[in-house]
Amino acid sequence: MKFTGSHILSIGQFERADIDHIFRVADFMAPFAHRKRVTRVLDGAILGSMFFEPSTRTRVSFGSAFNLLGGDVRETIGFESSAIAKGESLYDTARVLSGYSDVIVMRHPQEGSVSEFAEASRVPVINGGDGANEHPSQALLDLYTIKKELRHHGRELDNLRIALIGDLKYGRTVHSLCKLLTLYKNVSVTLISPQELQMPGEIVEQMRVAGHTVVESDLMEGSIGHVDIAYSTRIQEERFATKDEANLYRGRYRLNQAIYTRFCEPNTVIMHPLPRDSREGANELDNDLNDNPNLAIFRQADNGVLVRMALFALILDVEDQVDKYASDVNWYTGSRF
Ligand code: NCD
């Protein structure tokens, strides 16, 4: 695909070569994301960051990624602080905001809303999550993480074995990730969820059409024995009619060190898009996994910055100029990465 000036709305717009391209640029961003070098390549550029649903990682990592490339970030958080609360349409908001920004990232509770916004926007728009539909940049950083983690175990994205656990009906990250996996070969996907929260049928079908083996189960322990990746998710309580309904499922799947040791292969990598629900009634990934070297959740969150920097660089067509505007850092950077 042509990245320059493009919206990033759905995983469906990518081919495998595009993913390779994004990952190459993401690798190149490592010294900048890891505070070894700084670049001012986007000096003067403005990111319009519009989050109409709660977000920590996605919002802050998109903002940090833009800052790390030298650009500035203007944030709108929540409907109450936007004119949408006064009845303004997405069309009008998009026309106006796109005059104030060079690129926009948007999260919105309604499926399809970000695409509708993008149609009216005069600048590229990135989907930061539209309801239960898609979260393409999360899938890209998830796959980037899977690739990096598996490299240590001599395995690749083709022939991947992955288990997705939890709320597969409303979880937009797993929707986008499954669509992304259709670009690879011979993937075994185990979908572990309560019957009522199964992966949408059309996404299962897309994976089968791609030649993947898809198994659905409502039991976790017996299904995580032979996977490279165990990807846990939160019950998306904000998508349920009532909290009580969501509570029926919270805590259904809890992965802890004892279960990991007993049922998983020793190299199985544990992932989660975060936030993990650490309240007692849920505790989907126990804190006792924190010292497990295969717990990749924080490396996954760190990788979000690299991948988002890559997306900005490609969309704004500066990926070849990053070095030209680079210098060393002046401050103490420690050894966080
Ligand atoms: C996810 C989301 O918002 O879809 N979070 C994120 O962006 N990393 C997952 C979730 O909220 O459970």
pLDDT band at 314 (very low <50, low <70, confident <90, very high): very high
Distance between CA atoms of residues 178 and 198, nearest Å:
13
- Is there an atom of ligand 1 within 6 Å of 166 CB? no
Q: Pick the residue with more confidence: 107 or 87?
A: 107
Q: How many residues does the chain have?
A: 337
Distance 236 CA to ligand 1 centre (A): 9
Q: Read off the tokens for 116.
A: 């509708």
Residue 80, pLDDT > 90, answer: no
SS3 state of residue 43? coil
Q: Note whether 231 and 165 are within 8 A (CB).
A: yes
Rounded Cα distance between 156 and 282, Å, is 32
Is it the case that residue 309 has pLDDT exceeding 90? yes
Residue 274 CA: nearest ligand 1 atom is: 8
Q: In what order do the strands lie in the sheet with 103-108?
A: 72-77, 46-51, 103-108, 125-130
Give backbone dihedrals phi and psi of 147, rounded to 5 degrees, phi first.
Answer: -60, -45
How far is it, in rounded angstroms, from Cα 132 to Cα 109?
8
- pLDDT tens per residue across span 237-282: 999 999 999 999 999 999 999 999 999 999 999 999 999 999 999 9
Residue of 173, 175, 234 to test ligand 1 pocket, by largest number of atoms within 8 Å of CB: 173
135 in catalytic set: yes
Nearest-atom number in ligand 1 for the CA of 171 is 4
* pLDDT confidence tier of residue 336, bands split at 50, 70 and 90: confident
Exposure of 44 by Cβ count < 10 A (0-12 exposed, 13-18 middle, 19+ buried)?
exposed
| Cβ–Cβ < 8 Å for 233, 174 | yes
Question: CA 179, CA 132: separation in Å to the nearest integer?
Answer: 14
CA 199/CA 190 separation, integer angstroms:
11
The answer to whether the beta carbons of residues 125 and 9 sit under 8 Å apart is yes
Q: Is a pLDDT exceeding 80 seen at residue 149?
A: yes
The β-bridge partners of 51 are: 77, 107
Q: What is d(CA 304, CA 273) in angstroms, rounded to the nearest whole number? A: 10
Ramachandran class of 317: left when φ > 0, alpha when ψ lies in -120 to 50, beta otherwise: left
The domain made up of 136-298 has a fold known as Rossmann fold (3.40.50)
Work out which ligand 1 atom sits closest to the CA atom of 301: 8
Give the three-state DSSP class for 54: coil
b (16+ CB within 10 A) / e for 90-102: beebbeebbeebb
Q: Is the CB of 129 under 6 A from ligand 1?
A: yes
Q: What is the pLDDT of residues 184-243, one digit of tens each?
A: 999 999 999 999 999 999 999 999 999 999 999 999 999 999 999 999 999 999 999 999
* CA–CA distance, 280 with 299 (Å, rounded to integer): 25
Would you call 148 a catalytic residue per the annotation? Answer: no
Average pLDDT of the residues in 154-180: 97
Q: How confident is the model at residue 195, as a pLDDT? A: 98
State how beta strands 161-165 and 229-232 pair: parallel
Determine whether the shortest distance from the Cβ of 58 to ligand 1 is under 6 A.
Answer: yes
Which residue type, as a one-letter code, is found at position 100? Y
Q: Given this chain, do its domains 11-134+301-328 and 136-298 carry the same CATH topology?
A: yes
CA 74–ligand 1 middle distance (angstroms): 21
- Domain 11-134+301-328: which topology? Rossmann fold (3.40.50)
Average pLDDT score, the chain: 96
Q: Which of 59, 108, 135, 272 is catalytic?
A: 135
What pLDDT, in 10s, does the model give residues 119-136?
999 999 999 999 999 999
Cα(131)–Cα(118) distance, integer angstroms: 16
**Domain parsing of the chain, residue ranges:** 11-134+301-328, 136-298
Q: What is the largest CA-CA distance in the chain?
A: 56
Rounded to whole angstroms, how far apart are CA atoms 309 and 315?
A: 10
Q: Which residue has the tokens 């992932």?
A: 271
